[in-house]
Amino acid sequence: MARLYARQAVNVFDRIGDEDYEQVVFCHDRPSGLRAVIAVHSTRLGPGLGGTRFHPYATEDAAVEDVLRLSKGMTYKSAVAGLDLGGGKAVIIGEPRDKTEPLLRAYGRFVDSLGGRYITAEDVGTTQADMDLILRETPFVTGVSRSLGGSGDPSAATATGVLYAMRAVANVVWGDTSLEGRAVVVSGVGKVGYSLVRHLVEERAVVTVSDVSPTALDRAAADFEVSVVPPEKAHAVECDIFSPCALGGVLTPTTIAELRCAAVVGSANNQLLDAGCAGLLADAGVLYAPDYVVNAGGIINVAEELLGYDRDRADGQIRRIFDTTAAVLAAAATEGITTLAAADRMAERRLEQVGRVGLIRRGAPLPVRRR
Ligand code: NAD
């Protein structure tokens, strides 16, 4: 008993109550060894859509904290992107290399049990093949293979969205949407970064890349005309746009003081160490395009699957990231607030105003009469 209490450092009801989470589901299946947590932050605008992260969390608290933080982030991302989706996310605790079909299918059953309140997708540690397996247990999954009616890996769509966000930023900073001749540093040339570099080279931007993986770096350097810098120096290179496309937490008080760019526009989730860094960026005269506005291309693309995937329609929706980014930057300038605060306000306003429509019921059930 003492051990049980010692492990229960997070008071879950206090934690989810403070930020108004709707539901947190703990999933356990002994035969397959499944231990997963699904968090539905909000269904005000629609079902909570967000990926399943497979990770060997050091503690259960760390897993719960991660799923809560990520699911709330999805609420904001979908709200600003103008989607009829809420925020949800799931984590499976374990080593991704130990994944098995029974475990993923048991997980799929749990997703199914929520009846569509939560819709899953790929995330760190899960793949399209995993989504295909989950589809055998539930229709509430996106990012499945094209042969199964899905849209496949969302990374290319995310990269296209980042490009549109960069054009919107260029329009504000230099009065021209063109990226021709602009110096752009892409830090992280994995699935999204590589695709983004392709776009930038086609746009005739002057591209510099960095990555901790020699394989990823060699591929980008072999396929495109780019310069290479060591990863720890990428943020400090003099350029027009710095584009973080690797891990989160890259914008800290220390790195912000070393930036020599006019703007930051990248795909990485949670680029700011904390919300205070948005103010430091503004003080440093660097225009920060909020990460969750910029990197919404992936979710916009998978959301199209719910209507029956159509590539042209999805591309049209992804192009709207230009307008959304422009609207966020304009609101920040008009209201004299940081771009992050402007994006948050936009999300909260839509949740409030459009979410209220949900209160108008399609027809209430008749009260049961007692004879
Ligand atoms: P990925 O794993 O394919 O690529 C990440 C790359 O970053 C890898 O090549 C890795 O070696 C490199 N890297 C790791 N640490 C680094 C460092 N310190 N400096 C430089 N490079 C480093 O991941 P991805 O799918 O391309 O996603 C990139 C980022 O964008 C992540 O933060 C992800 O959460 C975010 N994101 C991705 C999508 C998507 O559709 N894939 C959607 C939204 C957000």
Q: What is the 3-state secondary structure (H, E, C) of the chain?
A: CHHHHHHCCCCHHHHHHHCCCCEEEEEEECCCCEEEEEEEEECCCCCEECCEEEECCCCHHHHHHHHHHHHHHHHHHHHHCCCCCEEEEEEEECCHHHCCHHHHHHHHHHHHHCCCCEEECECCCCCHHHHHHHHCCCCCECCCCHHHCCCCCCHHHHHHHHHHHHHHHHHHHHCCCCCCCCEEEEECCCHHHHHHHHHHHHCCCEEEEECCCHHHHHHHHHHCCCEECCHHHHHHCCCCEEEECCCCCCECHHHHHHCCCCEECCCCCCCECCCHHHHHHHHCCCEECCHHHHCCHHHHHHHHHHHCCCHHHHHHHHHCHHHHHHHHHHHHHHHCCCHHHHHHHHHHHHHHHHHHHCCCCCCCCCCCCCC
Pocket test for ligand 1, best of 158, 229, 233, 300 (most atoms within 8 A of CB): 158
- Ligand 1 centre to CA of 320 (Å) is 23
Whether 15-77+85-141 shares its CATH topology with 155-351 is answered yes
Ligand 1 atom closest to residue 267's alpha carbon, by position in its atom list: 30
**Whole-prediction pTM:** 0.91
Return the minimum-mean-pLDDT range out of 145-159, 176-190, 232-246, 328-342: 145-159
Ligand 1 atom closest to residue 246's alpha carbon, by position in its atom list: 7
- Ligand 1 centre to CA of 73 (Å) is 17
Supply the residue whose CA is at minimum distance from atom 43 of ligand 1.
295
Give the residue from 21, 22, 25 showing the smallest Cα distance to 112.
25
- Residue 330, pLDDT > 60, answer yes
Mean pLDDT of 139-146: 94
* CATH tag, 15-77+85-141: 3.40.50.10860
- Residue 365, pLDDT > 60, answer no
For the chain, give the mean pLDDT.
93
Mean pLDDT of 241-270: 96
Supply the residue whose CA is at minimum distance from atom 29 of ligand 1.
268
- Residue 348, pLDDT > 80, answer yes
265-322: per-residue pLDDT in tens?
999 999 999 999 999 999 999 999 999 999 999 999 999 998 889 999 999 999 999 9
If you search the block for the tokens 């048991």, which residue do you land on? 106
Instruction: Break the chain into its structural domains and give their ranges.
Output: 15-77+85-141, 155-351
For position 370, what pLDDT does the model report? 40
330 — phi, psi (to 5°)? -65, -40
- Residue 124, pLDDT > 90, answer no
Which residue did the predictor score with more confidence, 369 or 131?
Answer: 131
- Residues forming the active site: 89
Ligand 1 pocket by Cβ (under 6 Å): 154-155, 158, 187-193, 210-213, 216, 231, 245-248, 267-269, 295, 298
Give the residue from 327, 318, 296 showing the smallest Cα distance to 85.
296
Return the minimum-mean-pLDDT range out of 124-128, 215-219, 233-237: 124-128
For position 366, what pLDDT does the model report? 53
Mean pLDDT of 60-67: 94
For position 355, what pLDDT does the model report? 83
For position 3, what pLDDT does the model report? 44
- Ligand 1 centre to CA of 336 (Å) is 32
Which residue did the predictor score with more confidence, 8 or 83?
Answer: 83
For position 5, what pLDDT does the model report? 43
Supply the residue whose CA is at minimum distance from atom 2 of ligand 1.
190
For position 364, what pLDDT does the model report? 55
4-33: per-residue pLDDT in tens?
444 555 688 888 888 889 999 999 999 999
Residue 80 sits at the vertex; the CA angle it makes with 77 and 81, to the nearest 5 degrees, is 80
Supply the residue whose CA is at minimum distance from atom 35 of ligand 1.
268
- Ligand 1 centre to CA of 277 (Å) is 21
Ligand 1 atom closest to residue 194's alpha carbon, by position in its atom list: 26
CATH superfamily ID and name for 155-351: NAD(P)-binding Rossmann-like Domain (3.40.50.720)
For position 230, what pLDDT does the model report? 96
Confirm if 63 and 93 have CB atoms less than 8 A apart. Answer: yes
- Ligand 1 centre to CA of 261 (Å) is 21
